[in-house]
Amino acid sequence: MNIIRAIDHEDMACKAANLIAAQVLIKPKSILGLATGSTPLGVYARLILKQRAAEVSFAAVKSVNLDEYCGIAASDETSYRYYMNHNLFDQIDIDPANTYLPDGMAADFDAECARYDHVIEELGGVDLQLLGIGMNGHIGFNEPCDHFKMGTHCVQLTQSTREANAIYFSRGMEDMPSFALTMGMRPIMQAKRVLLVAGANKKEVIAQALEGPVTPRVPASILQLHPRLTVVYCEQ
């Protein structure tokens, strides 16, 4: 485990963006596993600047995102598809056809989960997986539970996750979905590299995840077993 301490949020974003850009420079056809939430926003902003400055190109990159809310259309501003298009894909030279997210509007969620696992498999797995972390230790939307779930699955969001994410919905908890589709632990753990970014507000859960026992009760703790985990952690 490689822990990189950042002095502030901007430094964290800069360091993480440098690692992602380096991955793409080394392997232009990289498969990037991407994340949503507020923490990666600065990382994406810096990647956009790097691409505009012709320091890196995403033309040959393909991406798979971790998760999507159930029942939220891609065109809705609160969907993770919208977040990714708006905060990254529309502003870089990636081919939109090469960007994948689960479909939260699918009629059959089991079939959609199987399809998404197949997409990841067909891509040959993830080269670099970017992750944030939830206050309860979730990664993607792998919520605390009795066992680590390996494949893409439909998950009932915990009350604390719903409360934390309700701020993104105009009517708060009233509009906040109760279910999501999330990539499971297999593609995350099989990713060649994992890059976890976390701000100072995640201090306690980061300590639990990286220093505590490996347990599905703290889903991110499984990352202790990843051979190439880099954590960019911001202390203030």
Q: Which residues between 50 and 89 bind ligand GLP (CB under 6 A)?
A: 66-67
Q: Does residue 19 contact residue 2 with C-beta atoms inside 8 Å? A: no
Closer CB to ligand GLP, residue 19 or residue 157? 157
Q: How far is CA 55 from CA 50, 101, 105, 116, in A?
A: 5, 26, 37, 31
Stretch that binds ligand GLP, among 29-37, 115-123, 213-221, 226-234 (CB under 6 A): 29-37
Q: Is 34 in the site for ligand GLP (CB under 6 A)?
A: no
Stretch that binds ligand GLP, among 7-15, 34-42, 98-106, 223-231 (CB under 6 A): 34-42
Pattern 144-163, ligand GLP, x by CB under 6 A = -----------------x--
DSSP-based three-state secondary structure for 229: strand
Q: Is 116 in the site for ligand GLP (CB under 6 A)?
A: no
Closest distance to ligand GLP from the beta carbon of 198 (Å): 8
Q: 9-26 vs 41-52: helix axis angle to the nearest 10?
A: 50
Cα torsion for 108, 109, 113, 119, to the nearest 10°? 50
Using alpha carbons, select from 8, 21, 91 the residue that is nearest to residue 50.
21
Q: Is 36 in the site for ligand GLP (CB under 6 A)?
A: yes
Binder to ligand GLP among 33, 102, 104, 134 (CB under 6 A)?
Answer: 134
- Give the pairing of strands 153-156 and 229-234: unpaired
Closer CB to ligand GLP, residue 56 or residue 134? 134
Q: How far is CA 223 from the centre of its chain?
A: 14
- Give the pairing of strands 193-198 and 128-131: parallel
Q: Which residues bind ligand GLP (CB under 6 A)?
A: 35-39, 66-67, 132-134, 140-141, 161, 165
